Amino acid sequence: MGNFPMCLRHRGVHSEQIKVPAGNHPVLTAHAKGDQIYQCSLSKGVYAWQTHALMRAYLMHRDTSLEITLAGPVWEYKEGSRVLGQVVSKIDIAPETSISWLLVEVVAHKGNGFFSNVSFINRINTHGGLPPLSVCNANHLGTEKRVAYTADYIFYGK
């Protein structure tokens, strides 16, 4: 099975697609509970639910709760440290019920604190968070819908 962390093994999937490059090690693994926020949008004549810029999640680690704000993907902690991530790859483990698992590379840091030394982030073990099943059309343009999701996030540093 190679050197895949147990958390990246799921139903026989050993995904090189979301494996963090060598030299990075986990600094925090936390369970998140939050909302994906979708907005009914019109693009090139097609109405569809699109991920809205901002969502909130609560990361739980042992007895600590970290409220983070994610937007585009930006992770910001309440003490002001922030990282901007770029999705490197994703894998759909259960596309009929859950948002994708991700490998995110941190491309920019701001502030000193929790996120200062984070280089990569995995989002795994996702449940929920898919776009709404309700109609998105001219009557609903601009409408926002929150969809609950849970996931585990692994933050890596060098």
Measure CA 35 to chain center: 11
Which pLDDT score is estimated for 2?
Answer: 37
φ, ψ of residue 43 in degrees (nearest 5) = -140, 120
Which pLDDT score is estimated for 6?
Answer: 45
φ, ψ of residue 7 in degrees (nearest 5) = -70, -20
CA–CA separation, 17 vs 134, rounded Å? Answer: 32
pLDDT in tens, 71-101: 668 887 778 888 999 999 999 999 999 999 9
Which pLDDT score is estimated for 61?
Answer: 61
Own/partner long-range contacts of 111-115 (Cβ < 8 Å, ≥24 apart) = 111/79, 111/80, 111/81, 111/82, 112/80, 112/81, 113/77, 113/79, 113/80, 113/81, 114/66, 114/77, 114/79, 114/81, 115/75, 115/76, 115/77, 115/81, 115/82, 115/83, 115/155
Chunked mean pLDDT (size 10), the chain, 158 residues: 42 70 90 88 96 67 62 77 92 92 95 91 93 96 93 90
Query: What is the pLDDT of the chain when averaged over all its residues?
Result: 83
Which pLDDT score is estimated for 33?
Answer: 84
**Cβ-Cβ contacts under 8 Å for 44 (sequence gap 6 or more):** none
Would you say 147 and 129 are in contact if contact means Cβ atoms under 8 Å apart?
yes
The residue assigned the tokens 């004549």 is 45
Closest C-alpha among 123, 25, 107 to residue 74: 107
Would you say 76 and 68 are in contact if contact means Cβ atoms under 8 Å apart?
yes
Q: Please say whether the dihedral angle defined by the alpha carbons of residues 84, 90, 121 and 93, taken in this order, is positive or negative.
A: positive
